[in-house]
Amino acid sequence: MAHEFLVKDIAFQAGLSTATVDRVLNGREGVRKQTELRVRAAIRELEKQQAGMEIQGRKFGIDIVMEAPVRFTDTVRHAFESESLTFLPTIFRSRFHFAETMRPQDIAQLLDRIRLRGTDGIVLKAPDVPDIATAVVRLEQAAIPVVTLVTDLPNTPRTAYAGADNRAAGETAAYLIGERSAAATVLVTLSSNRFRGEEEREIGFRRTLRDRYPSLSIVETSEGHGRDEATGALAAAALSANSTINAVYSIGGGNRAVLAAFAAAGRPCAVFVAHDLDADNLDLLRSGHIHFVLHHDLKADVRTVFRAIMGRRGALASPGLPALSAVEVITPYNIPSWIR
């Protein structure tokens, strides 16, 4: 198998031992097809990362571990791949571990495997539960920096948090709905109540409604994990049980399915506030099916991640304190020019 990379680099990218990779590269017998495919995929990823990187600088191999819907992890992957080029001659090689749902113990075991194998840093979007918090402690004790992305683990010794002020985002959503609807019952959809970031958004939303818009009430659904089928079923059940729901604050995604539930019930949605400028939300925003998207710049978060890891690895004299990403209110009329 032709390649231009060191066996150890391919092994790191593939998550395999150097001995296994050597067997694949030299065409030895007894290698499973799935293992060969992993090695080929790792080489393709390394080729992609090396494109345009003739200037060589310090190299960092990092692991991004996320439980999130594919539409969001696709956006995250693009942000890491594009922003890595802005840090040349420093080179970041990213290995992605994405799943729409993972048991906390499985995430903890994955973090332990990465710790034992070795890495320059871990970027983590995961539930705030004891198994994962304990795994983060083990990583930091091993001098491996952990940067939480989008949702924080504030009671762990993680190196930094990269993301928006989630309480402020929830407060902003409450303002947008409250100023537009004098009376409403708001369907609040979470992907899971295990994520600290989603909990913070909900807290900000509820607090602002209570203090400023007491005529608005809330019906909450959770554990759809941002997947259309599960989220749509939860939304349909909520609409069936409550005839006054006429607005949505979507914290956890699955927005096409939520809108489909409204359509199936023959019910209007007076105002719909969502998060993140992913491809689905852009289409829904442009078509007028959702009214506001609360957006923060993932690329800015990635830059925070890179600087935090470089700082822990002694590659920056003063990385500075990480800044929270600004929350922007996007309408069909102010979609950023870079995304049109």
Q: Is 340 a domain residue? A: no
The answer as to whether 145 is a domain residue is yes
The reply to whether 110 and 5 lie within a common domain is no
DSSP run (H or E) holding 194: none
Residue 249's identity, in one-letter code, is: Y
Q: Is residue 335 part of a domain?
A: no
Q: Is residue 336 part of a domain?
A: no
Cβ burial, residue 131 (10 Å; 0-12/13-18/19+)? middle
Q: Average the pLDDT over 325-338 and give the result.
A: 89
pLDDT at 1: 57
Counting the structural domains of the chain, the total is: 3
Q: Are residues 156 and 105 located together in one domain of the fold?
A: yes
* 173 shares a domain with 223: yes
Q: What is the CATH number of the domain that holds 111?
A: 3.40.50.2300
Q: d(Cα 220, Cα 218) in Å, to the nearest integer?
A: 6
Could you report the per-residue pLDDT of 45-83, keeping only the tens digit for each?
887 766 544 445 689 999 999 999 998 999 999 999 999
Q: Is the pLDDT of residue 144 over 70?
A: yes
Residue range of the domain that includes 30: 1-51
- For the chain, list the strands marked E by DSSP: 59-67, 91-99, 121-125, 146-149, 160-162, 185-189, 217-221, 245-250, 271-275, 292-295, 328-330
Q: What per-residue confidence (pLDDT) applies to 54?
A: 44
Contact 122, 62 (CB under 8 A): yes
Q: Can you give the pLDDT at residue 50?
A: 64
Residue 178 and residue 248 in one domain: yes
**What sign has the CA pseudo-torsion 22, 26, 29, 33?**
positive
pTM of the model: 0.79
Sheet holding 59-67, edge to edge: 91-99, 59-67, 121-125, 146-149, 160-162
Are 243 and 185 in contact by the 8 Å Cβ rule? The answer is no
pLDDT at res. 319: 61
> 223 and 156 share a domain?
no
